[in-house]
Amino acid sequence: MPDSIGQMMPFRWHDDEAGNYGEGISRPRHGKKTREFKLIVYPQGAQPMTWITRAESKRDAIKYAQNRWPNAEVEAA
């Protein structure tokens, strides 16, 4: 459906279980000093998974995982 300018607008909806993505939210900002962290993510209703990511600190790595999987438990491996 075109907007008032005539451009196509993407179809959007709100999903409470959808993750929040972006620089500084689910991954480090470009150019930040990072190191690798290994986390275990326990999503609701699914098998635990190991997620290896780069982050500034362990706290940031856990924050990034919680933003990607909002209803999951996360712990450092």
Q: Where are the beta strands (DSSP E) in 1-77?
A: 35-42, 49-55, 73-76
Residue 26, Cβ density class (10 Å: 0-12 exposed, 13-18 middle, ≥19 buried): middle
| Residue 4 pLDDT greater than 60, yes or no | no
The three-class DSSP label of residue 62 is helix
Q: Say what the pLDDT of residue 13 is.
A: 46
Cα–Cα dist 57/45, whole Å: 28
Residue at token pair 């962290």: 37
Domain borders along the chain are 35-76
* Overall average pLDDT of the 26-40 stretch: 95
